Amino acid sequence: MCRGAPTGRRLPTVRYSISSLLGQAITGNRGWKPAWRRTEPKPVYDALIVGGGGHGLATAYYLAKEHGMANIAVLEKGWIGSGNIGRNTTLIRSNYLLPGNIPFYEHSMKLWEGLEQDINYNAMVSQRGLLNLYHSDAQRDAFARRGNAMRMHGVDAELLDREEVRAFVPYLDFDNGRFPIQGGLIQRRGGTVRHDAVAWGYARAADRLGVDILEHCEVTGIDVVDGRAVGVQTTRGAIRAKKIGLAAAGNSSRVAALAGLRLPIESHVLQAFVSEGVKPLIDTVVTFGAGHFYISQSDKGGLVFGGDIDGYNSYAWRGNLPMVEDVAECGMALMPMLGRLRVVRSWGGLMDMSMDGSPIIDKTPIDGLYLNCGWCYGGFKATPASGWCFAHTIARDELHAFNAAMRLDRFATGHLIDERGAGNRPNLH
């Protein structure tokens, strides 16, 4: 699948609107143009972004929009949407606990709230609420603390008791023998966004600002001269650039190794599942607090759910059966009616699990080379702020206050951002 136009011509700028929709409807929808140009690589760019996932595309868009750069290319080894941006379960939230994280994720949430107007693309941003259930007194206390931390940073959070949860999502198993539901912490501004529309929308918006989107262009080498990155080798030829940003998600270690860097990252596989379509049932997002399980319903009717990473290093894009069983068990403990549904699809994606469970958006020891990685299984919600901060870091050669804590050297200085408190065990975050 390749959605680019066949030539390097500039596309006429068609704004998507109710009138363009009606106009197309009465002419049989035959006049739609490709969403971005298909073009050949130029020999030199001001900035290259390696990885055309959500983060890479958002970075290119904000570089062009916020920092006035136009001579930019995004290099994607597959096609736009082939990575995790098209594989995630679409949840967005900003319910973090630690100071290094909350302002960043809340910035992301605010960007989501204005995204569709900004990029003129329907990304189906749906703030349907995200509810984390608690099942014990200790967990209630921890959630109260998290909710307070969020509210102190101006983020919405509400602690619900058991009856308030029951009124909101009556179909859960409140009296489960082992894990009765005691209540929950809800962020009403959380919800879902159509994941691949985010990739297509950012790609189109970046293209409109002059960014070249180069699909099927795998970076196979990074040229470093006297401690400075000067260009890349790709399957479509050599390209020189003043600045190079790496945003390769699950492949971060492999791409960074091309410049001789070793990262605090392990790649792991995360699976997700979709059931057959049913009538509207779940109008929010629910997470189980006694195991790792979360569920929502897509607009097509399928229930979308998932759980933990499989837990061992993997580049296989597929997981194993024990995690399927674990997710199914958690689902049945939370919502026994799920047992009547058939799972129609499951798949895996590659997570760049960092050593403290938090991401890295920073410069590197190599001049002109910038790094964006370590998103673990929560990088979709971060897409707008990640691109926004990475663009700032690349354009200005400095970290913004929002990503000031997300440094590569924090593991050496001891300033870890460990939400889970699990230490240097990527498979426990």
Ligand X SMILES: Cc1cc2nc3c(=O)[nH]c(=O)nc-3n(C[C@H](O)[C@H](O)[C@H](O)COP(=O)(O)OP(=O)(O)OC[C@H]3O[C@@H](n4cnc5c(N)ncnc54)[C@H](O)[C@@H]3O)c2cc1C
Binding site for other proteins (CB under 8 A): 251, 253-254, 257, 262-267, 311-316, 320, 322, 325, 355, 411-412, 424-427
Which residue's CB is nearer to other proteins, number 102 or number 263? 263
380 binds, among other proteins, ligand X, none (CB under 5 to 8 A by kind): ligand X
The set of residues, in sequence order, having a beta carbon less than 8 Å from that of 19 and lying 6+ positions away, is none
- 426 scored as a contact of ligand X (CB under 6 A): no
- The least distance separating other proteins from the CB of residue 374, rounded to whole angstroms, comes to 11
> How many Å apart are CA 14 and CA 10, to the nearest integer?
12
427 binds, among ligand X, other proteins, none (CB under 5 to 8 A by kind): other proteins
The 8-class DSSP code of residue 367 comes to B
Which residue's CB is nearer to other proteins, number 91 or number 255? 255
Contact 144, 160 (CB under 8 A): no
265 binds, among ligand X, other proteins, none (CB under 5 to 8 A by kind): other proteins
411 binds, among other proteins, ligand X, none (CB under 5 to 8 A by kind): other proteins
> How many Å apart are CA 265 and CA 27, to the nearest integer?
51
- Specify the 3-state DSSP secondary structure of 251: helix
Which residue's CB is nearer to other proteins, number 117 or number 413? 413
Give the contact letters, 296-325, x = binds to ligand X (CB under 6 A), - = no.
----------x-------------------
Which residue's CB is nearer to ligand X, number 140 or number 392? 392
- Specify the 3-state DSSP secondary structure of 185: strand
- 231 scored as a contact of ligand X (CB under 6 A): no
Tokens representing 355 are 């050593």
- 381 scored as a contact of ligand X (CB under 6 A): yes
- The least distance separating other proteins from the CB of residue 310, rounded to whole angstroms, comes to 9
Q: Of 315, 263, 276, which is closest to residue 84 (Cα–Cα)?
A: 315
Give the contact letters, 10-29, x = binds to ligand X (CB under 6 A), - = no.
--------------------
Look up tokens 């960092």; give the residue. Answer: 354
**Beta-carbon count within 10 A of 51 CB:** 27
| Residue 58 φ/ψ, nearest 5 degrees | -65, -40
Give the DSSP H/E element, type plus range, for residue 369: strand 369-373
The half-sphere exposure of 51 on its side-chain side, counting CA atoms within 13 A, is 27
- 91 scored as a contact of ligand X (CB under 6 A): yes
84 binds, among other proteins, ligand X, none (CB under 5 to 8 A by kind): ligand X
Which residue's CB is nearer to other proteins, number 276 or number 409? 409
314 exposure class (CB count in 10 Å sphere: 0-12, 13-18, 19+): buried
Scan residues 259-298 and list those touching ligand X (CB under 6 A). 270-272
54 binds, among ligand X, other proteins, none (CB under 5 to 8 A by kind): ligand X
Q: Of 91, 70, 374, which is closest to residue 249 (Cα–Cα)?
A: 374
Q: Of 108, 113, 81, which is closest to residue 202 (Cα–Cα)?
A: 81
> How many Å apart are CA 100 and CA 356, to the nearest integer?
12
- 55 scored as a contact of ligand X (CB under 6 A): yes
> How many Å apart are CA 307 and CA 324, to the nearest integer?
9
Residue nearest to ligand X (CB): 53
**Strand intervals (E) in 39-194:** 44-50, 72-75, 91-92, 130-134, 158-161, 183-187, 191-192
Which residue's CB is nearer to ligand X, number 14 or number 125? 125
- 379 scored as a contact of ligand X (CB under 6 A): yes
165 binds, among other proteins, ligand X, none (CB under 5 to 8 A by kind): none
> How many Å apart are CA 126 and CA 356, to the nearest integer?
30
Contact 334, 173 (CB under 8 A): yes
Which residue's CB is nearer to ligand X, number 92 or number 140? 92
- 82 scored as a contact of ligand X (CB under 6 A): yes
Tokens representing 359 are 């991401």
Contact 28, 225 (CB under 8 A): no
Which residue's CB is nearer to other proteins, number 116 or number 326? 326
Give the contact letters, 154-193, x = binds to ligand X (CB under 6 A), - = no.
----------------------------------------
Give the contact letters, 323-362, x = binds to ligand X (CB under 6 A), - = no.
--------------------------x-------------
Which residue's CB is nearer to ligand X, number 219 or number 259? 219
Footprint on this chain of ligand X (rule: CB under 6 A): 50-56, 75-78, 82-85, 87-91, 218-219, 247-251, 255, 270-272, 306, 349, 375, 377-381
